[in-house]
Amino acid sequence: MRYIEPHGHMVSRTTDDYIKMATAGCACVSEPAFWAGFDRSSVDGFHDYFCQLTDYEPKRAAKFGLAHYSWLCINPKESEDVTLASEVIGIIPKFIDRPNVLGIGEIGLNKNSRNELKVLEMHVDLAARTNELILVHTPHLEDKLKGTRLILDVLKADSRIKPERCIIDHVEEHTVQMVLDRGHWAGMTLYPESKCTGARACDILDNYGHERLWMNSACDWGVSVPLAVPYAALEMRKRGWTAEQIDGVIYGNPIRFMSQSPKFKL
């Protein structure tokens, strides 16, 4: 079995996790910029984080035979401070041409506030001006439905954005249809306590098709499982999926989406 982890916050994980993922067949990880669990106090903190994502972490992943790609942004959890967000978005162009950067992400909304929406629009504008792919975080739990609708409206309102170049992540049963209907890709995040389980992800694939969906572990410093994607592959196998069908979802689909960036090579 081979697979791609298209959404993993590897800076939060140990080398043991890299070993387990590589052993399970992981060929590549893609790492969106994330909240650190605390608010960074200045743009300098983001500068250092972007250096970590684009310089240090690819070298660490390479020690375990894994290609490493990244996405840059200020995460929605830190978007209430529009002044700081503007400063952070201002330094992203310095990093955007680095060889492992695939696009802008994970942008989106957290609590669906006006400032978060403003910062989302600034990120979308940056992606449009630089012709970058977009990876979107949708809010948690009770905020997901409303946030997903608001995000889709922002993307639709910018005529420069091509829907097929945006992946809307963390979809569940109540949001997947609206995302696919707008022509975007949809990501399913496999978490033990929230978002999606492997079984539900398989149900969603059964109900909505395999064409524009990927699965990820979104492993970070919280409750998460770095091997969630291969575990979901076992779920597919138990249901009688063929090896080709499984490979198409966990390996082929991330490649099809990320290959829209000329930097993505595997």
Residue 242 interacting with other proteins (CB under 8 A): no
Closer CB to other proteins, 70 or 197, in the complex: 197
Non-local (6+) Cβ contacts of 65 within 8 A are 22
Pairing mode, strands 67-72 and 26-32: parallel
- Written as six digits, the tokens of 218 are 């979104």
Q: Using CB under 8 A, which of the segments 110-118, 161-169, 212-220, 246-254 binds other proteins?
A: 110-118
Residue 83 interacting with other proteins (CB under 8 A): no
Q: Which of residues 20-59 bind other proteins (CB under 8 A)?
A: 35
Going by C-alpha positions, the residue among 221, 218, 220, 216 that lies closest to residue 233 is: 216
Judged by CB under 8 A, the residue of 112, 189, 217, 224 near other proteins is 112
Q: How far is CA 154 from CA 3, 149, 160, 163, in A?
A: 32, 9, 12, 12
Residue 150 interacting with other proteins (CB under 8 A): yes
Judged by CB under 8 A, the residue of 125, 143, 164, 247 near other proteins is 143
Least distance CB 234 / other proteins (angstroms): 12
- Written as six digits, the tokens of 90 are 């201002």
Distance CA 43, CA 66 (A): 30
Closer CB to other proteins, 126 or 150, in the complex: 150
Distance CA 192, CA 239 (A): 20
Judged by CB under 8 A, the residue of 238, 242, 243, 265 near other proteins is 238
Closer CB to other proteins, 55 or 153, in the complex: 153
Q: Which of residues 113-142 bind other proteins (CB under 8 A)?
A: 113-117, 139-142
Non-local (6+) Cβ contacts of 188 within 8 A are 170, 171, 172, 176, 195, 196, 201, 204, 213, 214, 215, 216
Closer CB to other proteins, 94 or 149, in the complex: 149
Q: Where does this chain bind other proteins (CB under 8 A)?
A: 35, 77, 80, 110-117, 139-146, 149-150, 172-174, 194, 199-200, 203, 238-240
